[in-house]
Amino acid sequence: MFSLSSDLGRRVVEGFLESSRPCIETIVGELHRFEGERGRRVNLFWMKDNKVNEIVFGGERFFLRSSVEYSNPQLTVEELQGIIAARLLEVCGNYFDYHGFSGVDREDVDEICEMLSRPPFGKIVSFLLNTDDVEPDRYSMNPLKESIVKSGQSAFPSASVETEGLEIDKRFVEKYEGALISRDEAELIDRHIKTCDNSYMDMVDAVKQEQLEYLSKSFGIDLRLPLKRMPLAVLEKEGTDGLLHYIVKESHKDYESIERVYNCMDRSMKKRTTLLTIPHSEKGYGSKRAVRGRIYFEDKKLQGVKVTYQTTPLYPNAIDPKDVSVAVAEDDFTVEGDRLTGYDYSETPSSPQFILYSLGSPEDAVIWHGIGAFGASQLVRSYTTTRVACARDSMLRGLEEKYGIVVKVPLQFNIVPENMWAHPKHNNIDASIGSVEDLYDLAKMGMRLECLSAHEYARR
């Protein structure tokens, strides 16, 4: 439990209650209708002392998803805001579900602040969905970037990146100190590299959890949310009869199955160059940006998938648009159709598209970041349309019968772009939290959420 040692957290709470009441009312209204899936077990984990500690929740909980990236070890301002937004919505939803809305006074704020100082424990549980298939330096903001490229792992999925041989790029730190990284953060990352048992993901989670522990004290809000890694960590552990394996099999079943997913993604079946799952190269490559592909059919049956990896620029950071990260890869191969229609991850490792594997995430509500300005509106459209199609049982049939999953469109909340936290001096949302001298400068930017309409974002 963390005490509110200053008015920093209280300021954020009061601003949120004033600006985001419609979102609180929306989630409270959903709680009144929510039945949950009582027989379901949801496995999440905590990172403590460089060890993964599993925690199990029952399906009667209402799960609220936020996320952080594996493409940078240091916690960013954007990531911190998403975590705080999740805890605010979680606690306010739990509080007003119990007490009802009858005006908010000082005693209400006091009790909400007290609840925020403790770990998630109510009906709503906020958690982080960390996507482990992303490249380790997707946005040119990883202080390990030079050695990631030199080690040949720049086009690897983060799940398979090893830390042996990785080291802090001193030129990166010198160039971006005070904007994307701080000296203290570089030392923190270096320390955890030496104790993470050669696992890049464990190192990233340990660094961010340590930073969140410190920030929890500053804000008086327990920010150490439970985590879930997807999709590769799940695929690696589950058997061929598991949920994500089933989704891969069913989405590749035949021409019509692939066409239905294409329609959700607003893709044309004329060229068929969008792969629904990205087969990994034997050389370790798995970058969704560096891959090129084509799907082939024999009549209506999936014949195979042609896969080509080639060196591809990724994205720049917000400080230097010319500093573009890169995924270095050269390989080509073909995956036979029966390897996907009868999918086995241990034989054909691959990274499914987010709109497919996120069906396995226990999310009843989600928080997006700056959709309409910073975030990808098309991804939200594909996500929403897929959920609508599954809810209508027009694709991926049998999820409820086989796995007890009732697919629905989760409540979707968005951090309003105008209120996205950014570095007070450089105005970049990818700034490391350690590069911000005064956390009050972030709190003054406000915390405002809006509801996204499923009707508005579902493709026709």
Q: What percent of the chain has pLDDT over 90?
A: 87
Task: Give per-residue pLDDT as tens, 58-93.
Answer: 889 999 999 999 999 999 999 999 999 999 999 999
Per-residue pLDDT, 208: 96
pTM of the full structure: 0.95
Q: Average the pLDDT over 227-244 and give the result.
A: 97
Q: Is 274 helix (H, G, I), strand (E, B) or coil?
A: coil
Considering the domain architecture, whether residues 282 and 415 belong to the same structural domain is answered as no
Give me 350's structure tokens: 């691959």
Beta strand 277-279 with 51-58 is unpaired
Q: Is 41 a residue whose pLDDT tops 90?
A: no
- Does residue 142 lie in a domain region? no
Considering the domain architecture, whether residues 27 and 125 belong to the same structural domain is answered as yes
- pLDDT interval class at 376 (50, 70, 90): confident
Domain with 303, as residue range(s), is 242-352
Q: What angle (nearest 5°) sits at the alpha carbon of residue 43, between those of residues 205 and 50?
A: 25
Considering the domain architecture, whether residues 313 and 365 belong to the same structural domain is answered as no
Task: Give per-residue pLDDT as tens, 428-460.
Answer: 999 999 999 999 999 999 999 999 999 899 987
Considering the domain architecture, whether residues 250 and 346 belong to the same structural domain is answered as yes
Nearest CA to 101 out of 23, 158, 154 is that of 23
Task: Give per-residue pLDDT as tens, 313-351.
Answer: 999 999 999 999 999 999 999 999 999 999 999 999 999
Q: Is 177 a residue whose pLDDT tops 50?
A: yes
Task: Give per-residue pLDDT as tens, 380-395.
Answer: 999 999 999 999 988 9
Q: Count the neighbouring beta carbons within 10 Å of the beta carbon of residue 150.
A: 13
Q: Give me the count of residues in the chain.
A: 460
CB 167 within 8 A of CB 192: no
Per-residue pLDDT, 50: 72
Question: Rounded to whole angstroms, what are the CA distances from 376 to 243, 371, 457?
Answer: 26, 6, 12
Domain C-terminal end among 352, 386, 419? 352
- pLDDT interval class at 6 (50, 70, 90): low
Q: Is 436 helix (H, G, I), strand (E, B) or coil?
A: coil
Q: How far apart are CA 295 and CA 161, in angstroms?
A: 28
Domain C-terminal end among 324, 352, 380? 352
Rg (CA), the chain: 22
Helix (H) or strand (E) holding 234: helix 232-237
DSSP letters for 407-418: ----EEEEE-GG
Give CA 64 to chain center in angstroms: 12
Nearest CA to 407 out of 232, 269, 258, 264 is that of 264
- pLDDT interval class at 359 (50, 70, 90): very high
Q: Count the neighbouring beta carbons within 10 Å of the beta carbon of residue 341.
A: 17
| Omega prior to 349 cis, within 30 of 0 | no
Q: How far apart are CA 251 and CA 253, in angstroms?
A: 6
Per-residue pLDDT, 344: 98
Per-residue pLDDT, 405: 86
Considering the domain architecture, whether residues 336 and 216 belong to the same structural domain is answered as no
Considering the domain architecture, whether residues 287 and 396 belong to the same structural domain is answered as no
- Does residue 145 lie in a domain region? no
Q: How many domains does the chain have?
A: 2
- Does residue 187 lie in a domain region? no
Q: Average the pLDDT over 248-253 and give the result.
A: 97
Per-residue pLDDT, 96: 95
Give me 432's structure tokens: 């490391």
- Does residue 419 lie in a domain region? yes
Q: How far apart are CA 424 and CA 438, in angstroms?
A: 9
Q: How far apart are CA 57 and CA 63, in angstroms?
A: 10
Considering the domain architecture, whether residues 392 and 269 belong to the same structural domain is answered as no
Per-residue pLDDT, 4: 44
